Structure 1
Amino acid sequence: MTRTATIVDTYRLAPRVRGFRLRVPDAELAFDPGQHTTVRFKADGKEVVRPYSPTTLPGTDEFALAIKRYEDGLASSYMHTRSSGDEIELGEFEGNLALEDLDRDIALLASGTGLTPLLSILRQYARDGSGDAHLVFGERTADELFHRSTLDELAATYDSVAVTYTLSDPEWDWLDRVGYVQEHLEDLFDEFETRDFYVCGVPEMVVETTDRLRELGAPDERIHSEGWESDAVSDEGD
């Protein structure tokens, strides 16, 4: 089943990332934070379907997306040329990434637009969780850290929330962590057996982070991702 959403607003989040506020009139949108919907349109007579995760919480007729534009990205280019008032077709909300337990401490490990589902999960945990949540967000440069003000506000508002940034190619005046997310796990966490880890990013990052978590003692049942990333990495090597 598809539904029609209207773009209420669109705004710049980073040089290549735009935010979109969408409304489905007369609907109370139901999804688990961390799940995705699909944007659907036709190009050259063929239907294009691409998944994007809300960064906001369910329960109203609106939600927000953050979409990075890629040079050869058919769907991201399509969305970046949309304007307020335009209508787009959406698929159902679905996906395996969702908060497992509100009473366990969690770590949210994101790179790039892998932040989008984890931001929704972080909002849910900040509101309803009983433990601590620590989000680690990796990007290449500081100006690519989208939704940074939102993350900083969540960390300032909730004592249970901490946010760490790391850059793989920082400018000279960067004072926070340097490198990839998976390189800082041992420094940032010490309870790998009991904490839940949620991982989202490019497939290589997810696979490397998952492998490192296992090396540090995290059991498989405490590591959560979409689950398709290993196959994507294997296909790239064929």
Structure 2
Amino acid sequence: MTHTAIVEDTYPLTHRVSGFRLRVPDHTFDYHPGQHTTVRFDSGDERVVRPYTPTNLPGTDQLSLTVRRYDDGLASSYLHTKRPGDEVTLGELKGNLRLADTDRDVAFLSTGTGITPMLAMLRQYLREGTGEATFLFGERDESTLIHRETLNELAAQHAALDVTFTLSDPNWEWTGRAGYVQEHLESAVDDFEETDCYVCGVPEMVVDTKERLRELGVPDERIHSEGWEDGAVDES
């Protein structure tokens, strides 16, 4: 099943990342926060299908997507040409990443646009969860931090949420944490054995982070990711 969505708004998040607010008239989206849709279009003789995860909650006729533009990326370049009033074809929402238990403490660990399912699940957890939430997000430098204002606002509104940013290549003015997400797990999470951990980012980051979580005592059943990343790293 596909939907024809209307671009309601586009807005810059960083110099290479933009947000897209899409609406499907007379439709109500029903999905688990963390699941992804697909953007579909033809490029020459090729049918292009790429996954993108909404950052908003279900229950409306709209999806909010966050898309990083790559110079050689067919889908990202295609989306970055879209303007309000244009149409985009979307696939059904699916995927393995979703909240397992809203009654447990949670840790969301992500880098880059891997933040998108985490932000959707965080919003669900802040509405339904009963425990503590940790959000650890990594980027290259301060100029590439996406959704920074949103996360800071959520942290200010919810005492149960702790948000930490870490940069792998910070400049001298940065006073926060430096390094990769997996290097800061011990200081960010209080009780690994009792916390559900959600991981999303480039495959190498996901694999490294999951391995480090296991070393810190997190049972496999409490480590959640899309699940395809191990194979992607093995093939590289």
Shorter-chain TM-score tier:
over 0.9
**Structure 2 counterpart of 1:99, which letter?**
L
> What SS does the aligned partner of 1:165 have?
strand
Q: Are 1:183 and 2:191 counterparts?
A: no
**1:219-234 counterparts in 2 under 5 A?**
219-234=219-234
Partner of 2:111: 111
> How far off is 1:186 after superposition?
1.1
**Structure 1 counterpart of 2:18, which letter?**
R
Partner of 1:163: 163
Aligned counterparts of 2:69 and 2:232: Cα–Cα separation in 1: 20
> What SS does the aligned partner of 2:64 have?
strand
> How far off is 1:19 after superposition?
0.1
* RMSD, matched Cα: 0.6
Partner of 2:211: 211
- The superposition leaves residues 74-101 of structure 1 with CA deviations (integer Å, 9 ceiling, x where unpaired) of 1001101111111010000000000000
- The superposition leaves residues 150-206 of structure 1 with CA deviations (integer Å, 9 ceiling, x where unpaired) of 000000001111100000000110000000000000112231111000000000000
> How far off is 1:143 after superposition?
1.0
Q: Are 1:197 and 2:200 counterparts?
A: no
Aligned counterparts of 2:135 and 2:187: Cα–Cα separation in 1: 14
Partner of 2:52: 52
Aligned counterparts of 1:3 and 1:62: Cα–Cα separation in 2: 11
> What SS does the aligned partner of 2:67 have?
strand
Aligned counterparts of 1:171 and 1:25: Cα–Cα separation in 2: 45
> How far off is 1:235 after superposition?
1.0
Partner of 2:125: 125
Percent same amino acid at aligned positions?
A: 62
Aligned counterparts of 1:72 and 1:188: Cα–Cα separation in 2: 36
Runs of 4+ in 1 over 4 A off after TM superposition: none
Aligned counterparts of 1:68 and 1:11: Cα–Cα separation in 2: 12
Q: What TM-score, normalized to structure 2? A: 0.99
Unaligned segments of structure 2, at least 5 residues: none
Partner of 1:33: 33
Unaligned segments of structure 1, at least 5 residues: none
Aligned counterparts of 1:179 and 1:71: Cα–Cα separation in 2: 26
Aligned counterparts of 2:70 and 2:149: Cα–Cα separation in 1: 24
- The superposition leaves residues 26-52 of structure 1 with CA deviations (integer Å, 9 ceiling, x where unpaired) of 111101000000000000121100000
Partner of 2:21: 21
> What SS does the aligned partner of 1:174 have?
coil
Aligned counterparts of 1:142 and 1:23: Cα–Cα separation in 2: 31
Aligned counterparts of 1:51 and 1:104: Cα–Cα separation in 2: 29
**1:144-163 counterparts in 2 under 5 A?**
144-163=144-163
Q: Are 1:6 and 2:9 counterparts?
A: no
> What SS does the aligned partner of 2:192 have?
coil
> What SS does the aligned partner of 1:14 have?
coil
- CA contact 2:136–2:188 (8 Å) conserved in 1: no
Q: What TM-score, normalized to structure 1? A: 0.98
Q: How many residue pairs were aligned? A: 236
**Structure 2 counterpart of 1:64, which letter?**
S
Partner of 1:140: 140
**Structure 2 counterpart of 1:118, which letter?**
M
